[in-house]
Structure 1
């Protein structure tokens, strides 16, 4: 996940947050060479500190954007993959992920044994990584407007996972998109949605998605699923909860387990 750059001026103002700053200030009478040496050493430590907090490791996870300035449900999918695999078993062998930053999720899924994965990016693929460009070139990931029919045959995937996408759709378009997700799924659908008040859309996100995220309550979603003739997948939901408890994993997004259409 991308993080805000560390503010060096703020740390300096804290008085001692950056190593050796206090020493430099308190020993102003020291020789110039000693002062220069301490400054260089402090700069090296600062660079190391900034890099360690900028995501130098685990790029696939830290590269996920924080939509709307809050928690990313796409990041939540990455964290939940082992739990989903336990809950869905064989149904997690052929997966379609729908949502922003889908390249990261697809890359994570492809690392799982005996797992096929595809992805749909609902918005423009801007400033993507070299790995994402490869996935797009191979047809594994594609950009498609989910307000229109998905470019797949019925029951093409055993499991469809959606994150950070439905929150930006009005009920008018949800009425079109949800049936499409159910159409291309053979076994089930898993929806990751933000909690009300969890995120706040910035100008950049509004410009990209056309509207701010409309985060709905659990009861709102349940009513909408019923209206769309989508049934809760209680068996998968219970297995997910059991697997999550064993791993001490608590989702920071709402997770809904739905059955595909017969």
Structure 2
């Protein structure tokens, strides 16, 4: 007859194995061990959650940049508190040139003691009542910036340009930028996209007339020199200091230029 294995002996011997004995019904884990396991589990969960959040955030940001590019006018809205800190009283009378002029002007007008105007160089997309009111009052107007602006020299303390110069060829830039600097008493601020960062969608070509031509900072510096436009080192330093205090990293190139006198 075949012998039946003695399973009771095997189970009894299993108690001699440390890992198995830890789960033996008669054994009780130390309270410190339980607390330690909870702390380790919480730490691992926190690390995993943060890594997942960074991965998802990076993926969403990359997708957003690929799909819609970076709007320098939207970036201007983010940069306004930094500009106000850097330029101080010079932000009291501002002209914004670029798309969504109504939105930018409305934001500037919310600050007490600030006067603001806008020039929309393309089609006026805003249809809300606030924008209609600004256009009706002549605060915001549609004008082709390839031609002289309808303002006297030094009409504004600051002129801020966003999402406008990237759609101009050098032929028109040679006239437009000095013209923008002409109407500025204290300075001209230009926001431009980084190379490889932003492209106009096909639907926008009919509005802008051409795809965005994104140039490097070295290209712009050479162009400023050729156009007798000088960078404002004092404003650059103040802006960088204000940006550093607020941990602000611009998504567009921001150039600070002196006015033409």
Aligned residue in 2 for 1:118: 117
Deviation track 1:203-242 (CA, whole Å, cap 9, x = no partner) reads 1111111000000000000000000000000000100010
Give 5+ residue unaligned stretches, structure 2.
1-64
Aligned residue in 1 for 2:18: none
Measured after TM superposition, the shift of residue 124 of structure 1 is 1.5
Aligned residue in 2 for 1:135: 134
Give 5+ residue unaligned stretches, structure 1.
1-65
Aligned residue in 2 for 1:174: 173
Distance in 2 of aligned mates of 1:177 and 1:128: 27
Deviation track 1:160-206 (CA, whole Å, cap 9, x = no partner) reads 00000000000000011011101100000000000001112211111
Q: TM-score, normalised on structure 2?
A: 0.74
Aligned residue in 1 for 2:155: 156
- The answer to whether structure 1 residue 100 and structure 2 residue 99 are counterparts is yes
Deviation track 1:31-88 (CA, whole Å, cap 9, x = no partner) reads xxxxxxxxxxxxxxxxxxxxxxxxxxxxxxxxxxx9x920100011111111101111
> Secondary structure of the residue that 1:160 maps to in structure 2?
strand
Aligned residue in 1 for 2:227: 228
Distance in 2 of aligned mates of 1:97 and 1:128: 19
Aligned residue in 2 for 1:205: 204
Measured after TM superposition, the shift of residue 252 of structure 1 is 0.3
Distance in 1 of aligned mates of 2:195 and 2:204: 17
Structure that is richer in helix per residue: 2
Q: Residue 100 of structure 2 contacts residue 125 of structure 2 at CA under 8 Å; is this kept in 1?
A: no
Aligned residue in 2 for 1:184: 183
Aligned residue in 2 for 1:241: 240
Distance in 2 of aligned mates of 1:94 and 1:127: 23
